[in-house]
Amino acid sequence: MPKQSNQHSGHLTNKKTYHNKNQVQKGDTLIYALGGLGEVGKNMYCYEYENEICIVDCGVLFPGDELLGVDYVIPDYHHLIRMNKKRKFLVITHGHEDHIGGIPFLLKQVQIDAIYAPRFAKALILKKLSEHKGLEKVPIIEINEDSSIKTRYFTVGFFNTIHSIPDSLGVLITTPNGSIVHTGDFKFDLTPIGTNADYQKMAYIGVMQPDLLMSDSTNSGVEEFSISEKDVANELLEIMRNAKHRIIIATFASNVYRVNQIIEAALKCHRKVAVFGRSMENVVDIGRKMGVIKIKNSDLLSPDQLAHTPDSEVCILCTGSQGEPLAALSRIASGTHRHIHLKPSDTVVFSSNPIPGNTASVNKIIDKLFRSGATVLSRSVLTNLHTTGHASREEQKLMLQLIKPRYFMPIHGEFKMLMQHRQTAIDTGMDPNKIFVCANGDILILRNHEVLQSDWRYQGDDIYVDGNDITGLSTAVLKDRRILADNGLVAVVIAIDSKENKILSRPIIVSRGFVFIKDSQSLIKEAEFIVNASLQEKMKEKTTFSEIKNCIRSTLEPFLYKKTKRNPIVIPVILNSKQTMEELTKKRTAHARSKRPIHTKKEHIEREEK
């Protein structure tokens, strides 16, 4: 590729040989996402200049029902692995799993010089890395809104934003070609819980007119300003006061401010708090150490104390607000929880909204709770039991007006959300030609304060993680399962004599789940003939088993697709030499004889006479 180092040229796709304005050139700042575009989760955004890469966030995506057996979905780090000679540092905007959950998997494959994280996120990352041996060596440097990171090519500054977790930051990245504002997850709340957004700093950044704004798109389809967390706090307090018996509240463990509001409301109503669910216990423990959650040991109930405490003095705080099968609330509703058994007098509160795709699971849990006779409360037009941590359309407009970017790229959202955010930017007066809706792997070029979209792109696939496996094996297995389910399998059995370099018999093709053999004899015979002809040509010269297998696949796959418009998995099976076949035959015969019944001498004589 002209005007570009060899490090880039090997890993970009869609190559062109002619010069044009949109080609990556030496001295450009490259901006691309490896996760977070076209999806809500696995956020990972990269800013690359010369031999430095600034990475913002490194998250996971939690799999849907269609990814059975998969624990996490993470970005494909292939490009960063290939760029291991470049200096890389990681900046974290806040401590949610979709922004920090991928860090252990990244550190196992990619050399990271340092991680810069706000206080609460740092505590969560340290807890996470303590479960992975050898990863604690990477320095984690605490940052806040006044911090500044200076490297050879990058200067990174920060400003406070409001989100559902403490210490949430927006990022200002200055490069030799211009400046970029990355909002992270944010909302605007005029009566917030915790630190307020830094409107003055945002407005000052806007006066400098940054070149590119990259802004959270999760709630692009929501029209009005979101309700304040203080309204939610008041609603929870009112419910707690009116409940005469035991109260059970389910919410996101990651929504630290909400967890603290629930605990404060319980203490005001003279209730003690029992915490259930591993993630909830971890967050409460870290929140107490950070001073964000204030509760004495004497106000916390252990599972053993729960049975001996009057119901009117109990508040149970648990996970499972999204209907997760193994979460505490699901086990409570199903009657399988070791310590909690539902009573008709219980009040169960959902302080959350179902994430898209989880509605059916949540409704099943609610139905079970109603069957037990419990009172169930969830967010509705009559109650303010939940508010989002993401900006609605009006709040997105306010961010655009404060920052006043020359170019805009919506991030962190499904494609529909990105397009809705694009329209919101147009409504505020932005030029549609200066708005870029991208996919994972697409490259924006920042060159002398001008933003262009490159014709080239990096690999932006998903990697499926089973347990702590990050080899990609589970990805390959899952893809094979899908192909098998949709298209079936075709096995090609051939016998060869590698010493004489010849085929001993015509290939035999066996199909499972692809076509019905009895109705497709002509197709199978034709396929066997074509494969045989291709192999005969291949065997005219010395070859390897790998080349023979590739020959079978490259011959058979296009033929089957042309005939059936389906792509089955093709598995070549090679039997080598006459001697091997004879040995297999002998083994089968010996195995069959070993299973014959033992006869008495009399029976043997009778059989001989017959």
Residue 31: both structure tokens together: 């901006």
What's the average model confidence in pLDDT over 51-66?
Answer: 88
The CATH code belonging to domain 25-224+389-465 is 3.60.15.10
Q: Which residues, including other chains, have CB under 8 Å from residue 362's CB and lie 6 or more apart?
A: 321, 322, 323, 350, 354
Give domain 229-377's CATH architecture: 3-Layer(aba) Sandwich (3.40)
In Å, how far are 527, 543, 547, 570 from 493, measured between CA atoms?
Answer: 12, 18, 15, 11
What's the average model confidence in pLDDT over 237-244?
Answer: 91
- Binding site membership for Ca(2+): which residues? 69, 71, 466
- Binding site membership for substrate: which residues? 253-255, 386-390
Q: Which of 57, 76, 216, 442 is catalytic?
A: 216
Percentages (nearest 5) of helix, strand, coil residues in the chain:
35, 25, 40
- Segment 313-370, tens digit of pLDDT: 999 999 988 877 778 899 999 889 989 999 999 999 998 877 666 678 888 899 999 9
Calculate the CA 600 to chain-centre distance. 68
Whether the domain at 25-224+389-465 and the domain at 488-594 fall into the same CATH topology: no
Whether residue 298 contacts residue 342, with contact meaning beta carbons closer than 8 Å, is answered with no
Q: Which of 8, 79, 182, 390 is catalytic?
A: 390
- Taking the chain, what is the end-to-end CA distance rounded to the nearest angstrom? 84
Q: What is the model's pLDDT at position 577?
A: 64
Residue 153: both structure tokens together: 């090519």
Instruction: Report the predicted TM-score, pTM, of the whole model to 2 decimal places.
Output: 0.75
**């890993």: which residue's tokens?**
11
Task: Produce one character per residue of 316-349: b if its CB has 16 or more CB atoms within 10 Å, e if not.
Answer: bbbbbbbbbeebbbbbbbeeebeebebeeebbbb
- Segment 281-297, tens digit of pLDDT: 999 999 999 999 999 99
- Binding site membership: which residues? 69, 71, 94, 96, 98-99, 163, 185, 253-255, 386-390, 412, 466
Q: Which residue ranges make up each domain of the chain?
A: 25-224+389-465, 229-377, 488-594
Q: How confident is the model at residue 69 (pLDDT cuts 50, 70, 90)?
A: low
Q: Which residues, including other chains, have CB under 8 Å from residue 433's CB and lie 6 or more apart?
A: none
CATH class for the domain made up of 488-594: alpha beta
Q: What is the model's pLDDT at position 486?
A: 76
Nearest 10 degrees: CA dihedral of 9, 10, 15, 17? 50
Q: What is the model's pLDDT at position 5?
A: 40
- Binding site membership for Zn(2+): which residues? 94, 96, 98-99, 163, 185, 412
Catalytic site includes residue 421 = no
For 595, left (φ over 0), alpha (ψ -120 to 50), or beta? alpha
610 or 466: whose pLDDT is higher? 466
Catalytic site includes residue 189 = no
